Structure 1
Amino acid sequence: MASDRGIATDLTGELERSAADVVVVDCMTPVALGAARRSGAGVVLLMHAFSGYWTSQWSTTSPIGMWLRLTRTHPTRCPADCAIVTTAPKLDRVRADLVPARGVHQTGPIVPPVHRPAQLRDHDPVLVSFSTISYPGQQDALQRTLDAIAGLPMTAVATVEPLLASGLRVPPNVELRRPEPHADVLPGVRLLIGHGGHGTTMAALAHGVPVLVMPMSRHADQPLVGTAVARVGVGLEVSPRASVDDIRQAIQAVLSKPAYAARAAEVGKPFRDGAGTRSAADHILEAACDRAAGS
């Protein structure tokens, strides 16, 4: 997908039908950067996961990076006017010199405004929310997580796609639900156990909920998210192959130390009111105005 020239062709056709002041290019489709640049519009590169993941993917030692160079679609061939990195500065340390853009803006996560932060009461349930994508080994990891919760004096809500729920042994203290919007469930829980997905993790922190991360894929930014969560003290990371006892101990460790919840509320506060969204929009408008002034 990153090098599919059909994407560039489609973009060129759209811009011929309707000119744009600025084009926002998803970092997963850098092939579109060239077409956007040739149109004369301002070009913004939107990076929606930890920056270290993208810069490693674009490096000379990465298979994807080498492929993009061979196909002449690497993002360094047509650097954007600016890059918007939608990650939290306290969690993601951006190397601006490795980003293919003339200017780099770390706006903070794009999270809908949080109107009801979690109260984190002792009797509230824990939320188990793994990816809706079935990563290899995810169902087994989910089962071990449920088994760990079964041995604890607490309740939990597990949001699971129906196809992924097939065959799961659900203990009496766990309520199984279909996936639902974060804003509907996070205000009433005291811990998120998840796969380290950027969006889910940032939503939890915006609500002031600490996290226990079990990265399910080394081909995504989930390991980076897990490491950052542990580093800044908003939760812990456990191996996707962790035993039931290890998972149970990690759950107890996070819940027994109020410092994790306090730190989660502190780290999530800057993007709780939708500031990341407004900042990103401002930089897109800036790029449009700069291009218009230059022409």
Structure 2
Amino acid sequence: MSELLFVTWDGGGNVPPALAIARVLQGRGHTVRFLGHESQRAALVEAGFEVEATSRTRTFDRLGDTSPLTMLRTLGDRGAGHDLLAALARRPADLVVVDCLTFGALDAARASGTPYVVLEHLHDAAYRAMLAGPLGLVVRLRRLRPSLALSRARARIVTSLPVLDPLPSDGNFVQVGPVASWSPRSQPVGAEEPAVLVSLSTFGYPGMREALQRIVDATHDLGARVVVTTGPAIEPAELAAPPTVDVRRFVPHAELMGSASLFVGHGGHGSSMAALAHDLPVVLMPMDPNADQVTVARSVQAAGAGRSVRKGASPDDLAPVLAELLADGAHRSAAAALGDAVRAMPGDVLGADAVEAALSRAPAA
């Protein structure tokens, strides 16, 4: 069996895919450990993994300062690369699995000749847009070389759905499908009492509480049961919600989606794919135009399974959209078709297969 080191960061939705793939690999007998931000240590240890010490990685907490400048500094952090090499010096690994947004660690793996794969936990189309935008510019100004690092990886493991995120025909891509938790439904979508699940990000985006309040206000006359999960970034008591709206801090999505009729989210890849895995139409309100959320929302809308709405949309703007998607229509069959596709590609298992295949693959030229 092999020694594997996963490099991650405290970004919220990027962590569950890495953990799920790591669990499969650990279950197959491989030794798996993690390197990430100190703010992640407790959760990673609780998940059953050893966590490497850091000394030069920048401090970051997704519930603290998430300004654009802080994000650029965090993702382009060379300290993560230094800590990666220090961890490997203490205890070598047969393969390193690097989060695609930890550019400092990615470049250190490339420059040192370390065998590595890249885990893309989002639409590759969104990742390409990031590299072509301000983030890519800042990373290159820091004299990191992301394009070269990507090309030299033994594989780029992409956890997206081919129909929503078609990949270029060339390159070292291995598209494994979304890592989405789901539970079988007892009844078809819409057969039970209409229910709406509203859940935005676990990341502390500016203006998210106000956006969530407008969504809650838009459900006033919807005629459906509404469950809202606020996540760690928003206190449930901060929302003004009527007694008919059940507001909770956290409930696993798979427990609620199995009896829901509609999902309202922020366009995060993980929650959006989980909703589709339950055959749910979606209304997606991206919180950050520089993240992957806009791309996810547009791809689902183009597939006919949901609608993309503005972050600043008013309750009056949102109410008819929610009513339309809660009702029957072609969007339900489109969501079900995407659900079939998600369930047919278990990203955790296929991702683990791709990691194991890369262990014996020769380094890219």
Deviations 1:119-172 (A, max 9, x none): 322513111111133322222222221111112222211111474434422123
Q: Does structure 1 residue 147 correspond to structure 2 residue 220?
A: no
Matches of 2:355 and 2:115 in 1, distance apart?
A: 9
Q: Flag the 1:22–1:219 CA change in 2: closer, same or farther, 3 A.
A: same
**Partner residue in 2 for 1:21:** 94
Matches of 2:169 and 2:116 in 1, distance apart?
A: 17
Deviations 1:3-49 (A, max 9, x none): 32221121112222322221111111122234324555432111111
Amino acid across the alignment from 1:7: A
Deviations 1:49-86 (A, max 9, x none): 12122212222xx2222222222212123331210111
- The structural deviation recorded for 1:88 is 0.9
Aligned partners of 2:122 and 2:158 also within 8 Å: yes
Deviations 1:83-112 (A, max 9, x none): 011111111233466xxxx51112110123
- The structural deviation recorded for 1:229 is 1.4
Decide which of 104, 119, 127 is 1:31's aligned counterpart.
104
Provide structure 2 residue ranges, at least 5 long, that are not aligned to the other structure. Answer: 1-73
Worse overlay, 110-119 or 71-80: 110-119
**Partner residue in 2 for 1:9:** 82
Matches of 1:250 and 1:122 in 2, distance apart?
A: 21
Percent identical across equivalent pairs? 39
Q: Flag the 1:143–1:81 CA change in 2: closer, same or farther, 3 A.
A: same
TM-score normalised per structure 1: 0.89
**Partner residue in 1 for 2:183:** 114
Decide which of 193, 207, 211 is 1:123's aligned counterpart.
193
Decide which of 43, 57, 61 is 2:130's aligned counterpart.
57
What is the Cα-based RMSD across aligned positions, in Å? 2.2
**Partner residue in 1 for 2:56:** none
Decide which of 296, 312, 317 is 1:241's aligned counterpart.
312
Matches of 1:20 and 1:167 in 2, distance apart?
A: 46
**Partner residue in 1 for 2:253:** 182
Secondary structure of the 1:134 match is: coil
Secondary structure of the 1:24 match is: strand
**Partner residue in 1 for 2:288:** 217
Amino acid across the alignment from 1:203: A
TM-score normalised per structure 2: 0.73
Q: Flag the 1:226–1:69 CA change in 2: closer, same or farther, 3 A.
A: same
Aligned partners of 2:301 and 2:308 also within 8 Å: yes
Amino acid across the alignment from 2:178: P
The structure with higher relative contact order (CA 8 Å, sep 6+) is 1
- Give 1:186-201 correspondences, 5 Å limit: 186-201=257-272
Amino acid across the alignment from 1:114: S
Q: Does structure 1 residue 138 correspond to structure 2 residue 211?
A: no
Aligned partners of 1:114 and 1:273 also within 8 Å: no
- 4+ runs deviating over 6 angstroms: none
Worse overlay, 269-278 or 78-87: 269-278
Deviations 1:165-203 (A, max 9, x none): 344221232111122111111101110011111111100
**Partner residue in 1 for 2:173:** 104
Secondary structure of the 1:188 match is: coil
Decide which of 236, 248, 262 is 1:165's aligned counterpart.
236
Decide which of 303, 307, 314 is 1:232's aligned counterpart.
303
- Give 1:77-88 correspondences, 5 Å limit: 77-78=148-149, 79-88=152-161
Secondary structure of the 1:157 match is: strand
Provide structure 1 residue ranges, at least 5 long, that are not aligned to the other structure. Answer: none
